[in-house]
Protein backbone atom coordinates (compact mmCIF):
# COMPACT_ATOMS: atom_id res chain seq x y z
CA UNK A 1 0.00 0.00 0.00
CA UNK A 2 1.43 3.41 -0.87
CA UNK A 3 2.00 6.10 1.73
CA UNK A 4 -0.95 8.25 0.66
CA UNK A 5 -3.44 5.40 1.09
CA UNK A 6 -1.84 4.44 4.41
CA UNK A 7 -2.07 8.03 5.71
CA UNK A 8 -5.79 8.26 4.84
CA UNK A 9 -6.59 4.93 6.54
CA UNK A 10 -4.53 5.76 9.66
CA UNK A 11 -5.91 9.26 10.15
CA UNK A 12 -9.51 8.31 9.32
CA UNK A 13 -9.40 5.70 12.09
CA UNK A 14 -7.68 8.08 14.51
CA UNK A 15 -10.24 10.83 13.84
CA UNK A 16 -13.10 8.38 14.38
CA UNK A 17 -11.62 7.14 17.64
CA UNK A 18 -11.10 10.71 18.86
CA UNK A 19 -14.74 11.64 18.12
CA UNK A 20 -13.74 14.02 15.32
CA UNK A 21 -15.76 12.23 12.58
CA UNK A 22 -18.92 10.53 13.80
CA UNK A 23 -20.94 8.01 11.77
CA UNK A 24 -20.44 8.98 8.09
CA UNK A 25 -19.18 12.53 8.69
CA UNK A 26 -15.97 14.01 7.39
CA UNK A 27 -13.78 13.43 4.36
CA UNK A 28 -10.05 13.23 3.76
CA UNK A 29 -8.13 13.49 0.49
CA UNK A 30 -4.55 13.55 -0.75
CA UNK A 31 -3.22 14.85 -4.07
CA UNK A 32 -1.41 12.24 -6.19
CA UNK A 33 0.56 12.68 -9.40
CA UNK A 34 -2.52 12.20 -11.54
CA UNK A 35 -5.42 13.36 -9.35
CA UNK A 36 -6.62 12.80 -5.81
CA UNK A 37 -7.39 9.88 -3.48
CA UNK A 38 -10.45 10.53 -1.32
CA UNK A 39 -12.56 8.72 1.27
CA UNK A 40 -15.84 7.21 0.00
CA UNK A 41 -19.35 8.44 0.66
CA UNK A 42 -21.45 6.81 3.39
CA UNK A 43 -18.72 4.66 4.97
CA UNK A 44 -17.71 5.27 8.59
CA UNK A 45 -14.10 6.52 8.88
CA UNK A 46 -13.44 4.02 11.67
CA UNK A 47 -13.81 1.02 9.36
CA UNK A 48 -12.24 2.02 6.06
CA UNK A 49 -10.22 -0.43 3.98
CA UNK A 50 -7.76 0.28 1.19
CA UNK A 51 -10.11 -0.95 -1.55
CA UNK A 52 -12.83 1.48 -0.40
CA UNK A 53 -10.78 4.59 -1.25
CA UNK A 54 -11.61 6.34 -4.52
CA UNK A 55 -9.23 7.97 -6.99
CA UNK A 56 -10.47 10.84 -9.15
CA UNK A 57 -8.93 13.30 -11.55
CA UNK A 58 -8.49 16.96 -10.56
CA UNK A 59 -12.10 17.64 -11.56
CA UNK A 60 -13.51 14.87 -9.35
CA UNK A 61 -14.20 12.33 -12.10
CA UNK A 62 -13.63 8.74 -10.93
CA UNK A 63 -10.46 7.05 -12.19
CA UNK A 64 -10.37 4.08 -9.83
CA UNK A 65 -12.60 2.57 -7.14
CA UNK A 66 -15.92 0.81 -6.73
CA UNK A 67 -17.58 3.23 -4.33
CA UNK A 68 -18.84 6.78 -4.73
CA UNK A 69 -16.37 9.45 -3.65
CA UNK A 70 -17.28 11.68 -0.71
CA UNK A 71 -20.28 13.93 -1.37
CA UNK A 72 -17.93 16.87 -0.67
CA UNK A 73 -15.60 15.95 -3.54
CA UNK A 74 -16.19 19.41 -5.09
CA UNK A 75 -14.91 21.12 -1.93
CA UNK A 76 -11.67 19.12 -2.17
CA UNK A 77 -11.26 19.67 -5.92
CA UNK A 78 -11.80 23.40 -5.46
CA UNK A 79 -9.25 23.61 -2.63
CA UNK A 80 -6.53 22.02 -4.80
CA UNK A 81 -7.46 24.38 -7.66
CA UNK A 82 -7.13 27.45 -5.42
CA UNK A 83 -3.60 26.75 -4.19
CA UNK A 84 -0.77 24.73 -5.76
CA UNK A 85 0.90 24.15 -2.42
CA UNK A 86 -2.00 22.11 -1.00
CA UNK A 87 -1.19 18.38 -0.87
CA UNK A 88 -4.05 17.24 1.37
CA UNK A 89 -7.50 18.39 2.53
CA UNK A 90 -9.60 17.37 5.53
CA UNK A 91 -13.18 18.43 6.14
CA UNK A 92 -14.93 17.51 9.40
CA UNK A 93 -17.63 18.54 11.84
CA UNK A 94 -15.45 18.48 14.95
CA UNK A 95 -17.76 19.57 17.79
CA UNK A 96 -16.02 22.66 19.17
CA UNK A 97 -14.96 24.27 15.90
CA UNK A 98 -18.35 23.39 14.43
CA UNK A 99 -20.07 25.07 17.39
CA UNK A 100 -18.35 28.33 16.34
CA UNK A 101 -19.39 27.68 12.71
CA UNK A 102 -23.01 27.00 13.65
CA UNK A 103 -23.06 30.15 15.80
CA UNK A 104 -21.56 32.02 12.79
CA UNK A 105 -18.60 33.20 14.83
CA UNK A 106 -15.07 33.24 13.48
CA UNK A 107 -12.47 32.02 15.97
CA UNK A 108 -10.66 35.09 17.29
CA UNK A 109 -9.00 35.90 20.57
CA UNK A 110 -6.68 38.42 22.18
CA UNK A 111 -6.04 36.13 25.12
CA UNK A 112 -4.54 32.87 23.83
CA UNK A 113 -0.95 33.18 22.55
CA UNK A 114 -0.85 29.85 20.72
CA UNK A 115 -3.88 30.81 18.67
CA UNK A 116 -2.53 34.25 17.78
CA UNK A 117 0.97 33.05 16.84
CA UNK A 118 -0.09 29.96 14.86
CA UNK A 119 -3.20 31.20 13.09
CA UNK A 120 -3.97 34.85 13.78
CA UNK A 121 -7.63 33.92 13.46
CA UNK A 122 -9.83 31.29 11.85
CA UNK A 123 -12.22 32.98 9.39
CA UNK A 124 -15.81 32.01 8.65
CA UNK A 125 -16.63 31.23 5.01
CA UNK A 126 -20.24 32.31 4.18
CA UNK A 127 -22.79 29.50 4.04
CA UNK A 128 -23.24 27.32 0.98
CA UNK A 129 -25.45 24.24 0.77
CA UNK A 130 -23.41 21.15 1.75
CA UNK A 131 -22.52 18.72 -1.06
CA UNK A 132 -23.29 21.31 -3.78
CA UNK A 133 -21.08 23.73 -5.72
CA UNK A 134 -22.52 26.47 -3.47
CA UNK A 135 -20.21 25.33 -0.69
CA UNK A 136 -17.25 26.55 -2.79
CA UNK A 137 -18.65 29.93 -3.84
CA UNK A 138 -16.60 31.96 -1.36
CA UNK A 139 -13.88 29.45 -0.51
CA UNK A 140 -11.15 31.16 -2.53
CA UNK A 141 -11.50 34.46 -0.67
CA UNK A 142 -10.66 32.73 2.60
CA UNK A 143 -8.49 29.73 1.72
CA UNK A 144 -6.05 31.94 -0.18
CA UNK A 145 -4.77 33.36 3.09
CA UNK A 146 -5.56 30.63 5.63
CA UNK A 147 -4.84 26.91 6.07
CA UNK A 148 -7.85 26.40 8.33
CA UNK A 149 -11.31 27.89 7.77
CA UNK A 150 -14.79 27.43 9.22
CA UNK A 151 -17.74 26.81 6.89
CA UNK A 152 -20.72 28.74 8.27
CA UNK A 153 -23.44 26.53 9.78
CA UNK A 154 -21.47 23.45 8.76
CA UNK A 155 -17.94 22.59 9.92
CA UNK A 156 -14.22 23.06 9.40
CA UNK A 157 -11.69 22.59 6.58
CA UNK A 158 -7.92 22.21 7.04
CA UNK A 159 -5.32 21.96 4.29
CA UNK A 160 -1.64 21.04 4.42
CA UNK A 161 1.37 20.02 2.40
CA UNK A 162 0.50 16.42 3.31
CA UNK A 163 -2.29 14.70 5.24
CA UNK A 164 -0.56 14.73 8.64
CA UNK A 165 0.15 18.45 8.24
CA UNK A 166 -3.55 19.13 7.55
CA UNK A 167 -4.59 16.85 10.41
CA UNK A 168 -2.42 18.49 13.06
CA UNK A 169 -3.74 21.91 12.08
CA UNK A 170 -7.31 20.68 12.36
CA UNK A 171 -6.61 19.00 15.70
CA UNK A 172 -4.96 22.11 17.15
CA UNK A 173 -7.74 24.45 16.01
CA UNK A 174 -10.33 22.07 17.52
CA UNK A 175 -8.43 22.20 20.81
CA UNK A 176 -8.22 26.02 20.67
CA UNK A 177 -11.96 26.24 19.95
CA UNK A 178 -12.61 24.04 23.00
CA UNK A 179 -10.46 26.20 25.28
CA UNK A 180 -12.06 29.44 24.08
CA UNK A 181 -15.57 28.08 24.47
CA UNK A 182 -14.81 26.90 28.00
CA UNK A 183 -13.18 30.24 28.86
CA UNK A 184 -16.32 32.00 27.66
CA UNK A 185 -18.42 29.80 29.94
CA UNK A 186 -16.18 30.98 32.79
CA UNK A 187 -17.03 34.60 32.07
CA UNK A 188 -14.83 35.25 29.05
CA UNK A 189 -11.17 35.49 28.20
CA UNK A 190 -8.81 37.77 30.08
CA UNK A 191 -7.36 39.75 27.17
CA UNK A 192 -3.62 40.38 26.97
CA UNK A 193 -2.36 43.96 26.86
CA UNK A 194 -2.37 45.39 23.30
CA UNK A 195 1.45 45.55 23.12
CA UNK A 196 1.64 41.87 24.11
CA UNK A 197 -0.91 40.97 21.44
CA UNK A 198 1.12 42.86 18.83
CA UNK A 199 4.26 40.93 19.87
CA UNK A 200 2.43 37.66 19.29
CA UNK A 201 1.15 38.72 15.87
CA UNK A 202 4.73 39.69 14.96
CA UNK A 203 6.01 36.29 16.17
CA UNK A 204 3.58 34.72 13.74
CA UNK A 205 4.66 37.19 11.00
CA UNK A 206 1.22 38.74 10.97
CA UNK A 207 0.08 42.31 11.15
CA UNK A 208 -1.98 42.93 14.27
CA UNK A 209 -5.67 42.61 13.52
CA UNK A 210 -7.32 45.96 14.20
CA UNK A 211 -10.33 45.97 16.49
Binding site for Zn ion (CB under 5 A): 155
Q: Which is nearer to Zn ion, 48 or 197 (CB)?
A: 48
- Report the nearest approach of Zn ion to the CB of residue 113 (Å): 30
- Report the nearest approach of Zn ion to the CB of residue 131 (Å): 8
CA distance 205 to 86: 20
Q: Which is nearer to Zn ion, 110 or 146 (CB)?
A: 146
Is 55 labeled as catalytic in the residue annotation?
A: no
Q: CB neighbours of 211 closer than 8 A, spacing ≥ 6?
A: none
CA distance 86 to 38: 14
Q: Which is nearer to Zn ion, 75 or 115 (CB)?
A: 75
- Report the nearest approach of Zn ion to the CB of residue 152 (Å): 12
DSSP class per residue in 15-78: HHHTTSS-TT--EEEEE-SSSEEEPBTT--GGG--GGG-EEE-TTS-EEE-SS-B-TTHHHHHH
- Parallel/antiparallel/unpaired status of strands 27-31 and 88-92: antiparallel
CA distance 156 to 92: 6
Q: Which is nearer to Zn ion, 27 or 109 (CB)?
A: 27
Question: Which residue is catalytic, options 72, 78, 171, 174?
Answer: 72
- Report the nearest approach of Zn ion to the CB of residue 201 (Å): 31
Kindly list the catalytic residues: 72
Amino acid sequence: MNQQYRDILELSKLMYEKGMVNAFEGNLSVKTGSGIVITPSQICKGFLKQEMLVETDMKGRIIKGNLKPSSEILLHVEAYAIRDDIGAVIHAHTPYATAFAVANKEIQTRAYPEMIVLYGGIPLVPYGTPSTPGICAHLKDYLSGHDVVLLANHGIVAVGKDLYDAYFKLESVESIAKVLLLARLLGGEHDLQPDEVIKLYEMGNRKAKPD
